[in-house]
Amino acid sequence: MTDGSMAEPDRLPPRTARDRAVRALLALLVLALAAMWIYAWVFAPRGDPDRISDQAWADAAEARCAIASEVVTAVPVEQDDAQRRADDVDAVTGALAAMVDDLGATLPKDPDDADTVARWLDDYEIYLDDRREFSAGLREDPTTRFEVTAVENRQITAVIDRYADVNGMQSCMTPGDVT
């Protein structure tokens, strides 16, 4: 019966082009997020990018670094006489420089490993330059403080030490003989 007393049901307004565009954009966003998580869970590389695959090289590096570490512990770091302290810093720096040279002469065979090791050794060279500047500064001013280069808002020693730690080369970490 349609006598006009019954109210007509509410009808939804037709979808506009804007509504369709918003829905399509939201659908694309959901698909993009799903694709990102699928990639992260299934396809993304695993592990630490600093870890080298050549464990034999890491073991040999650890052995070489242990030799330098013995020199570091054998050198008494003079605190009262700036000239002697500079000499001590130079002695340790020389042992570390020889270690870095030796490690650089025997890079891993894998190109990716060789690249990360070379970058690590480049960082070590920067640290050695910091030590050299410190000892030279001590010879001119006994109040000179040791300053370490920052890389990406972190001290370069943190970068060097993390790489050594990740690869099981604890003897290759920077020594704490100067502060």
Q: Is 22 a residue whose pLDDT tops 90?
A: no
pTM for this model (two decimals) = 0.74
Residue 138 has pLDDT above 80, yes or no: yes
Looking only at the bridges linking them, the beta strands covering 150-151 and 154-155 are: antiparallel
Sort 60 into a burial class: Cβ within 10 Å, 0-12 / 13-18 / 19+.
Answer: middle
- Mind listing the pLDDT tens digit for each residue in 44-72? 666 677 789 999 999 999 999 999 999 99
Band (109; pLDDT cuts 50, 70, 90)? very high
Does the pLDDT at position 91 exceed 60?
yes
- The confidence score (pLDDT) of residue 75 equals 87
Adjacent-strand bridge partners of 150 = 155
